Structure 1
Amino acid sequence: MAVLRVSFTKSRRNKLAQVLWILNWVSVVMGLLLIILGAFLKMEIGKHSEVMVSQGADSIPHMLLAVGAIACGINFLGSKICHDCSDSQRFTRWRLAMLPYVVCTFFFTFCILAGALVCYTMKSSLEESLHLGLKRAMSFYKDTDTPGLCFMKKTMDELQFKFHCCGNNGFRDWFEIQWISTRYLNLNSKDVQNRLKSNIDGKYLLDAIPFSCCNYNSPRPCIQHQLTNNSAHYNYDYLTEELNHWTTGCRQALLDHYVQIMQSIGLSVLIIWLFEISVLTGVRYLQTAMENVVLQGDPECESEGWLLENNFVEKAKTNLNIIKTLRKVNQISTISGMENPNLDVRTAAYGPDNVLH
């Protein structure tokens, strides 16, 4: 018994074909929207690619671009098919192609759904990518004279200004790296020499942060150096006072930025998927209804359309009966071969056409 059977008159079939023609063109526009979303996400990721390590996040825009391009092609073909299906004679040109088209479109809709789900599941890999990328960028902050790395200081400063963040996980990350180039250190100074000798790596470490970490909303002038030394500043207690620099780490700030974008894109792709499913459902009804018109041979007749020709239980029983029949055939063949072993030997030796009787 067919699943979700619906009766269609000629007028209803024509109206369904016209509506589906329009909806397929709307789907073409949605495919273009997917391409635009993919290009936008690619540009957003490219803006901060210097502070990211490739962990698969750049695969999402490529997926959206590919899915959008395929959606445009499939729905353009679907609009042509639906336009011709309003006439039974023109339908015969697409009759053999419609079922493969429906099947391919069905599996393609799952690609759209996968694209939506990926946008919601990339948070962990994106976070790891930002963590490693920011750690690398901060380590090269001081290398303003090194070719290929001289832009890292500008990149980090612009990032901290734009996203109101400081360091990787927080401002204390700057305490653990040498972010001041030796070019700007007086190596004859005793204090500098003591600091260079104070750790096994020979780095010049300070409890200080770059100026780009300063919170310009604070009424107090920015305290960049000796952040953990209360006596170095008047009326200052770094443990209890609200510090006048950004306390959020850039990893978290960037992660929130990208997660918000991806969730918005994921919601848009999910809506497009639901729309594509509805269009595909209509095309399936149109295909089965027109098939029945051709079988009856009367273009003016009333025909039935459905989503599945048999329900799942009947389909499973049919497949099970086919498997049982095949087993019985194999068993009969095996028994027949055992009862006539000489026939099998002679057949193997001389071939079926040359067996001596």
Structure 2
Amino acid sequence: MAVMKMKFTFQKRVKLAQGLWLLSWVACVCGAITFTLGVFLKTELRRRSEVMDNTEIHAVPNTLMIVGLASIGINYFAGRISQDALDPSRFPRWKSFLQPFFTVAIFFTLLMLVTVIMSYAMKGNLEASLKIGLKNGIRFYKDTDTPGRCFQKQTIDRLQMEFQCCGNTDFRDWFEVQWISNRYLDFSSKEVKDRIKSNVDGRYLVDGVPFSCCNPSSPRPCIQYRLTNNTAHYNYEYQTEELNIYIRGCREALVNYYMGLMNTIGGVVLSIFLVQMSVLVSLRFLQTSMEAVAGQENVEIETEGYVLEKGVKETAKEFKDKVLKLLQLNQVQAAEGGEQKAEAGAAAPATPAS
């Protein structure tokens, strides 16, 4: 039994073709928007690549760009087909093209839906990537003279000021690394020597944070050193007072930023997906309703259009059988090719020894 079967008069077919032409160009613009969103997200991710450990998260913008370009091409041809739909001399030339066209169009439309799901599901990968990337960024903060890490300090400082955050998880992450370069330490000082000797790794660790962690909206001058020493500052209670540095970690800030960005993009792409599906459904109705007109002298006859010729289960089973048949055919051809090579090798004369 056909799915979504409808009757179409000549006037309805004309309106369907005109509506599809307009909708296909709207979908073309939507495809360009999808591509632009992919480029924008890719650019934003690359801006923070120094504090990200892997590139798995780039799967979302890469797929968006591919789907956007494919959508432009699909909807361009959908518009051309709708133009020729009511011309008995021109529409038949699309008949052999439509079946592979629908296969490609459905694949990329479903890929668009997969991208929407990915944009909501990548939080775990993003958080893991930032956790390691920020940890390395903080560890290499002091290496301003090391090739490849010269701008690491600048990157971290800009990041903390822009997102109003401090450290990886929180500001205490700075207590665990030596973030002050040895070139700025006075090794003749007893305090420096004692701090270096106080840990097995020989690092200069302080309970302080870089200047970029300071909160400019705080009324008190920034306390960035000896944060856990109440006696080092006047009228200061470390455990009860609201510190005048950023409390939120940069990982949380960046995850919230990027997930907000991807969730917004996911919502936009989901709307575009619905537009794209409308184009394909309308094109399918136009195709099936016009097939009954082929070979008829009276093009104004009433015809029937549908989305699927058979039920969903029957169509899925038919598609599965075709795929299995194609795979079996490839296996047989590969086996025959191997046998022919073996026979050719056995028939080849042996080379006499010199």
Using the size of structure 2 for normalisation, the TM-score is 0.87
Asked if the contact 1:102–1:283 (Cα under 8 Å) also holds between the matched residues in 2, the reply is no
Q: How does 1:245-284 map to 2 (within 5 A)?
A: 245-284=245-284
Q: Distance in 2 between matches of 1:239 and 1:210?
A: 20
Report the equivalent of 1:47: 47
Deviation at 1:90, TM superposition (A): 1.4
Cα distance 1:312–1:71, how it changes in 2: closer, same or farther (>3 A)?
Answer: closer
Q: How does 1:74-223 map to 2 (within 5 A)?
A: 74-223=74-223
Q: Distance in 2 between matches of 1:299 and 1:163?
A: 65
Count how many residue pairs are aligned between Structure 1 and Structure 2: 320
Deviation at 1:100, TM superposition (A): 2.6
Asked if the contact 1:119–1:263 (Cα under 8 Å) also holds between the matched residues in 2, the reply is yes
Q: Distance in 1 between matches of 2:225 and 2:256?
A: 29
The alignment partner of 1:288 has SS state of helix
What is the RMSD computed on CA atoms of the aligned residues? 1.7
Structure 2: which amino acid aligns with 1:56?
E
Report the equivalent of 1:71: 71
Deviation at 1:291, TM superposition (A): 0.6
Q: Distance in 2 between matches of 1:130 and 1:281?
A: 42
Report the equivalent of 1:346: none
Q: Distance in 1 between matches of 2:107 and 2:298?
A: 33
Q: Distance in 1 between matches of 2:29 and 2:315?
A: 37
Deviation at 1:88, TM superposition (A): 2.4
Q: Distance in 2 between matches of 1:14 and 1:293?
A: 13
Deviation at 1:216, TM superposition (A): 0.7
Deviation at 1:313, TM superposition (A): 5.9
Deviation at 1:26, TM superposition (A): 0.9
Cα distance 1:226–1:147, how it changes in 2: closer, same or farther (>3 A)?
Answer: same
Q: Could you list the runs of 5+ residues in structure 1 that have no partner in the other structure? A: 320-357
Q: Distance in 1 between matches of 2:108 and 2:216?
A: 50
Cα distance 1:313–1:37, how it changes in 2: closer, same or farther (>3 A)?
Answer: closer
The alignment partner of 1:67 has SS state of helix
Using the size of structure 1 for normalisation, the TM-score is 0.86
Deviation at 1:299, TM superposition (A): 1.2
The alignment partner of 2:304 has SS state of strand
The alignment partner of 2:143 has SS state of coil
Q: Could you list the runs of 5+ residues in structure 2 that have no partner in the other structure? A: 320-354
Cα distance 1:312–1:208, how it changes in 2: closer, same or farther (>3 A)?
Answer: closer
Q: Distance in 1 between matches of 2:102 and 2:297?
A: 23
Q: Distance in 2 between matches of 1:47 and 1:316?
A: 44
Deviation at 1:76, TM superposition (A): 0.6
Deviations 1:2-55 (A, max 9, x none): 222111111111111111011111111111101110110011111111111124
Report the equivalent of 1:242: 242
Asked if the contact 2:308–2:315 (Cα under 8 Å) also holds between the matched residues in 1, the reply is no
The alignment partner of 1:89 has SS state of coil
The alignment partner of 1:58 has SS state of helix
Deviations 1:125-159 (A, max 9, x none): 00111111111111111111212212111111111
Cα distance 1:316–1:193, how it changes in 2: closer, same or farther (>3 A)?
Answer: closer
Deviation at 1:196, TM superposition (A): 0.5
The alignment partner of 2:294 has SS state of helix
Cα distance 1:84–1:254, how it changes in 2: closer, same or farther (>3 A)?
Answer: same
Q: Distance in 1 between matches of 2:114 and 2:44?
A: 21
Asked if the contact 2:2–2:307 (Cα under 8 Å) also holds between the matched residues in 1, the reply is yes
Asked if the contact 1:55–1:125 (Cα under 8 Å) also holds between the matched residues in 2, the reply is no
Q: Say which one has the larger Rg.
A: 1
The alignment partner of 2:235 has SS state of coil
Deviation at 1:316, TM superposition (A): 8.2
Structure 2: which amino acid aligns with 1:25?
W
Q: Distance in 2 between matches of 1:152 and 1:228?
A: 27
Deviation at 1:86, TM superposition (A): 1.8
The answer to whether 1:298 aligns with 2:309 is no
The alignment partner of 1:7 has SS state of strand
